[in-house]
């Protein structure tokens, strides 16, 4: 239980920082979207649903890369990063998936001093 409690406490601290910065509490999808924006530099006044999904995919690949799940292969002519999946993600239930993502998001913020 202590590990789960620590994860939750660190997650709440990140949510508070982002809430102070943006004025509202972000959910996991919003945080992934922000990471995608950070990693691509993609700035548009309007973002389509497909672009939002692409940005979240970039974020997931970025946060899982340090654990060896993805490798950045390069960027295309528009500057979008492309990743190669190196290994399959572990089979997890929804609660485990959420903790897995949150842990990797927190690691991303720690590693990037954000």
Would residue 69 count as lying in a domain?
Answer: yes
Q: Which residue has the tokens 């897995």?
A: 100
Q: What is the pLDDT of residues 19-53, one digit of tens each?
A: 999 899 999 999 999 999 999 988 877 888 999 99
Would residue 59 count as lying in a domain?
Answer: yes
Would residue 15 count as lying in a domain?
Answer: no
Would residue 60 count as lying in a domain?
Answer: yes
Query: pTM for the full model?
Result: 0.87
**Binning pLDDT at 50, 70 and 90, where does residue 62 land?**
very high
The domain total for the chain is: 1
Would residue 11 count as lying in a domain?
Answer: no
Would residue 64 count as lying in a domain?
Answer: yes
**Amino acid 4: pLDDT:** 65
Would residue 2 count as lying in a domain?
Answer: no
Range of the domain at 74: 28-111
CA–CA distance, 69 with 58 (Å, rounded to integer): 13
What is the CB-side half-sphere exposure of residue 50 using CA atoms within 13 A?
0
pLDDT above 60 for 1: no
Instruction: Confirm if 31 and 105 have CB atoms less than 8 A apart.
Output: yes
């Amino acid at each position: 239980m202590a590990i789960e409690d620590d994860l939750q406490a660190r997650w709440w601290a990140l949510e508070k920082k982002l809430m102070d910065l943006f004025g509202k509490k972000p959910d996991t999808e919003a945080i992934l979207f922000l990471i995608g924006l950070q990693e691509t530099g993609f700035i548009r006044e309007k973002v389509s649903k497909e672009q939002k999904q692409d940005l979240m995919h970039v974020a997931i690949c970025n946060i899982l890369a340090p654990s060896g799940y993805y490798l950045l292969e390069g960027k295309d002519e528009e500057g979008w990063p492309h990743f190669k999946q190196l290994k399959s993600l572990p089979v997890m239930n929804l609660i485990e998936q959420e903790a897995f993502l949150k842990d990797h998001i927190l690691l991303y913020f720690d590693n990037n001093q954000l």
